[in-house]
Amino acid sequence: MSNSRAGKSAVLPEQWSRSQYTALPLANREVSFLAFDNRVLELASDPKVPLLERLRFLCISSSNLDEFFEIRVAGLKQKILGGIEGAGIDGLSPLQEMAIINTEAQALVEKQYQLLNDVLIPELAQEDIRFFNRQSWTPEISSWVKDFFSNEIGPVLSPLGLDPAHPFPRLTNKSLNFIIDLRGVDAFGRESGFALVRAPRSLPRVVRVPAEICGVRDGFVFLSSIVHSQIGSLFNGMDPVGVYQFKATRNSDLYVQEEEVANLRRALESELVQRNFGQAVRLEVASNCPNRIVRYLQRQFQLEHEDVYRVDGPVNLNRLLAIPDQIDRPDLKYPSFSPHVSPAYDSGASIFDNIAQRSPVIFHHPYESYVPVIDLVRQAALDPEVLAIKQTLYRTGHESAFVSALMEASRRGKDVTVVIELRARFDEAANIELATQLQEAGIQVVYGVVGFKTHAKMVLVVRREKKKLVKYAHVGTGNYHATTARAYTDISLLTNDNAITEDVHRVFTQLTGLGQTLNLRKLLQAPFNLHSSVIVRIRHETDIATQGGSGHVIARMNSLVDPGVISALYDASQAGVKVELVVRGICMLKAGVSGLSENIRVVSVLGRFLEHSRIFWFQNKGKGLLYLSSADWMPRNFFNRVEIAVPLEGASMKRVKEECLDIYLKDNTFAWQLDPDGTYRRLVPELLEASENSDGADNAFSAQQFLMDRFDGTHLDH
């Protein structure tokens, strides 16, 4: 791949075209996402989930919806404004799609607030966790609020009376704001009108009230209630007859024509300045806000009636996410769980000895510790025999152990190369800062390939052993982020397999030198052969079934969108191949439809940990063929990103298939099955018949709980 244009031309023959799949039965992508967010919301209403964790799920559902509007709805609105009327691959025009989204999203928001007001807040109150609204304030709370406002809030607020000299300001994306309806004469003898108060992001959205003031250990008031109650002090001599909170969600996508800029980093830095001020796509307002004020806000943000969401509660619902961490109630949270290292791994030995003696070494996070992955880079930095370290970074988090180790390696004179993806959505600013930090430490930093995000998760260490160079590699399904490694389910592979490490070396060489792709011995790579290889393997199962044999495909991913793969899966189903898919989020495939996909089963498993692994298994005439990958089955992953998939064999394949696929297909507690009508149905454990020793019980099975039990205390020697 000598340049970006050559890179793109290399994949064009493999890419799908809309015309090729116009008759393909597909679900709508955006509606499928909203169905996923509804499943997240179901966890917030599930009494089997600890109460404070249910509050977290409510906040996650709200945060998901924000990002959906910032990116997906924003893009759809741009199509509409651009006059694009043609139907998408699912048969819906942008206007039709937007109409469905409006209906579904409004219903989702209504359910969020009903759950908060009618279920969670009352149940929290029963546990002495109280949210005090203004109507329930005692004189003691009112007095405390007044003092708190005077000392902590009022000094940082800047009220803005709106008139020709003070026009409606540019309000940042998702900021909390108040519009005030004033009556009376201002200081200059003029009739007052509207005013604005912006709540700086530095202010907490929920404020703890001292126990001696409110009478409970965990009492809170919303910032919006505090501001509302004290708004009169900001407008002396005028009467605030109405105070209404609102929030505007804006287009937050970045638009950089990568092939037309001289410096990608500088172009992104310039674009980031404008991110908070993109075109508004949604307006959330207090439910009691008068129509005339709503229409006024609509005009300011250039939004239509259907873009307005009236909410009965705080407009910044996801800010409640801070509450569980402020409350010391282990009984209302998930039980503590500490990842462990398998006894098959000697934590006291050199990481290189561990890999050499046990390769391949598999870790299943977060059930198993992420420390060995960090140790690979940390020990490589200190080992005098290590000559070079190469690593891809997509999202790393603050104060990353990987970054510290890489910088130490550079200080010790090792050759360190880091491929940073600047365009990791919503982490662009952090990655630009990280790139600067690494470069100042003498590390060679490259930003991947123009036009293609580098999403592959790879580390390569080159070490001198007995007068020869030996390579060690880590390949994973998740980012190099120690914090998310405790919350996301992912697979790590540590190996010194010559074929795999040489393939990883060749991919790194391509990313930095932009040379033509060399033949890889074991790895599959996007944007070159990953898509075609997946389809070839599905078709191989189809051919086996057509000839009277048994075909079977099991795959797990975050999203399934690619029409080429979906078409191949439909063909496989019609040939009799058994297809089982564990798809956490978006799924455009229609499952269980007679004559089309009756042999395809799709389940979505959610729970305490975010399901993040991508695993693909093909029966392959009983021989088994399994890949772990960084890629979902989406066009962007196949054609617009650098991704890899690495095969596992023998005991490693058997283990990963069991823990990541078979166990999840048995889940009947936190799993939803996609039905032929396109809806998701939560699975319910069946009731077992009573026996002499039992009065009957259900056969409830949770994949995540099973794995936590497996790795908690008694560990299998893999």
Task: For residue 61, give the amino acid letter.
Answer: S
SS (H, E, C) 281-317: EEEEEECCCCHHHHHHHHHHHCCCHHHEEEECCCCCH
User: What is the C-alpha separation between 606 and 39, in angstroms, rounded?
Assistant: 8
CA dist list (Å): 668 to 335, 556, 680, 694:
21, 17, 13, 21
User: Distance between CA 3 and CA 303 in Å, rounded?
Assistant: 42
For residue 564, give the nearest of 605, 520, 531 by alpha carbon. 531
The beta strands (E) that lie in 530-613 are given as: 552-557, 578-583, 600-605, 610-611
Residue 90, both tokens: 């699912």
481 catalytic? Reply is no
Q: Which residues are CB-contacts of 468 (< 8 A; sequence separation ≥ 6)?
A: none
Residue appearing with tokens 């287009």? 251
The closest alpha carbon to 699, from 714, 685, 717, belongs to 685
Our measurement of the distance from residue 625's CA atom to the centroid of its chain's CA atoms, rounded to an integer in Å, reads 28
For helices 530-546 and 563-574, give the axis angle rounded to 10 degrees.
Answer: 10
Say which of 228, 364, 365, 455 is annotated catalytic.
455
For residue 558, say whether it is annotated as part of any ligand binding site.
no
Q: Is 641 annotated as a binding residue?
A: no
The verdict on whether residue 584 carries a ligand-binding annotation is yes
290-311 burial, b at 16+ Cβ within 10 Å, e below that, comes to eeebbebbbebbebeeebbbbb
Residue 64 assigned to a binding site: yes
| Whole-angstrom distance, CA of residue 539 vs CA of residue 523 | 19
Q: Which residues of 411-435 are buried (b: 16+ CB within 10 A; e: fewer)?
A: eeebebbbbbbbbbeebbeebbebb
Transcribe 352-411 into DSSP letters. Answer: HHHHHHHPSEEEEETTB-SHHHHHHHHHHHH-TTEEEEEEEES---TT-HHHHHHHHHHH
Q: Between the CA atoms of 477, 429, 314 and 72, what dihedral angle is there, to the nearest 10 degrees? A: -60
Check whether 710 is labelled as a binding-site residue: no
Closest CA to 55 of 133, 118, 114, 120: 120
Tokens 């099991």 identify what position? Answer: 554
Q: Which tokens is 528 given? A: 């070159």
Give the Cα-Cα-Cα angle 174, 176, 180 (nearest 5 degrees): 135
Rounded Cα–Cα distance for residues 333 and 41 (Å): 17
The answer to whether 367 is annotated as binding is no
Supply the residues annotated as catalytic: 455
Binding positions for ATP: 64, 488, 584, 612
Binding positions: 64, 395, 425, 488, 584, 612
